């Protein structure tokens, strides 16, 4: 995913759409409450941080695996017959925690808007739910 976001940034820069990305994307959003949600954070900054920092979200993937490992060890004893190898590392917590689902969802909604599309209600609902209850509720 991180490489995909890097490629999006590269293509926006190559098309000379990078410098005014926030302005042109915000101009396409007509719903005032939705516009307010997206103006809380710069789309450019979100793309830059995501293109370099998604590895900081490794814990979101490794935590469920750690829970599964604990269940397996409790079921199979000390694991003499079962070898479990740690599959992820824990990166230091970022200063501002935003879930991976929220970051990717915001990128997805902004790209849909930037490309002239209109996100479905279901897509918006999923993103707003991932970004936290009460952040935005158009319904």
- 54 versus 40: the higher-pLDDT residue is 40
The reported pLDDT for the residue numbered 48 is 86
As a whole number of angstroms, the distance between CA 99 and CA 88 comes to 17
As a whole number of angstroms, the distance between CA 139 and CA 125 comes to 9
- The 10s digit of each residue's pLDDT in 5-23 is 888 889 999 999 999 999 9
Within 8 A by CB and 6+ apart from 46, the residues are 103, 106, 107, 110
In a 10 Å sphere around its CB, with 0-12 CB exposed, 13-18 middle and 19+ buried, how is residue 44 labelled? middle
6: left (phi over 0), alpha (psi -120 to 50) or beta: alpha
The answer to whether residues 113 and 22 touch, using CB atoms and an 8 Å cutoff, is no
- 92 versus 71: the higher-pLDDT residue is 71
Within 10 angstroms of residue 89's Cβ, the number of other Cβ atoms is 9
Q: How confident is the model at residue 95 (pLDDT cuts 50, 70, 90)?
A: very low
**Is the pLDDT assigned to residue 137 strictly greater than 50?**
no
- The 10s digit of each residue's pLDDT in 113-131 is 888 888 888 888 888 888 8
How confident is the model over 43-70, as a mean pLDDT? 73
As a whole number of angstroms, the distance between CA 16 and CA 33 comes to 29
pTM: 0.54
The reported pLDDT for the residue numbered 114 is 87
How confident is the model over 78-97, as a mean pLDDT? 57
- 133 versus 124: the higher-pLDDT residue is 124
């Amino acid at each position: 995913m991180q490489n995909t976001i890097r490629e999006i940034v590269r293509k926006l820069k190559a098309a000379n759409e990078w410098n005014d990305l926030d302005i042109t994307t915000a101009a396409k959003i007509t719903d005032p409450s939705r516009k307010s949600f997206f103006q809380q954070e710069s789309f450019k900054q979100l793309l830059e941080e995501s293109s370099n920092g998604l590895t900081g979200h490794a814990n979101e993937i490794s935590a469920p695996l750690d829970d599964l490992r604990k269940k397996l060890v409790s079921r199979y004893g000390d694991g003499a017959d079962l070898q479990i190898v740690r599959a992820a590392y824990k990166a230091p917590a970022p200063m501002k925690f935003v879930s991976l689902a929220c970051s990717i969802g915001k990128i997805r909604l902004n790209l849909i808007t930037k490309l002239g599309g209109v996100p479905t209600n279901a897509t918006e609902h999923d993103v707003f739910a991932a970004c936290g209850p009460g952040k935005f509720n158009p319904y």
